[in-house]
Amino acid sequence: MTRAQQTLSIFALVASVYIALFLGYIPVPAKVQDEIVPVLPFWSLVTLGAYLLFKLGWGVFTFNDVPEAHKELMAEIQQAQKELRAKGVEVD
């Protein structure tokens, strides 16, 4: 099973469970049915966005903790500066 098929299978499973909850096929207390189930999709989008922003921020925060990647990036920057100077572009 490819990664895309696995992701689509999980999405289909979650969507079917949500639809069953929303339509009342799965019995839950009335307060949960009226107040929580309708906002689950919005809550999941906000949670996913917060998680992705955290992962992005953590990656930026810990970038200097990866010395090999830092050295490689600095070497690429120096190479680009040399190439630009050879073409007559002023680089600081």
Burial of 18 (0-12, 13-18, 19+ CB in 10 A): middle
Tens digits of residue pLDDT in 53-89? 999 999 888 876 778 888 899 999 999 999 999 998 9
3-state DSSP assignment of residue 40:
helix
Amino acid at 51: Y
44, 51 Cβ separation under 8 angstroms = no
pTM for the whole structure: 0.59
Q: Where do the domains of the chain lie? A: 1-61, 63-92
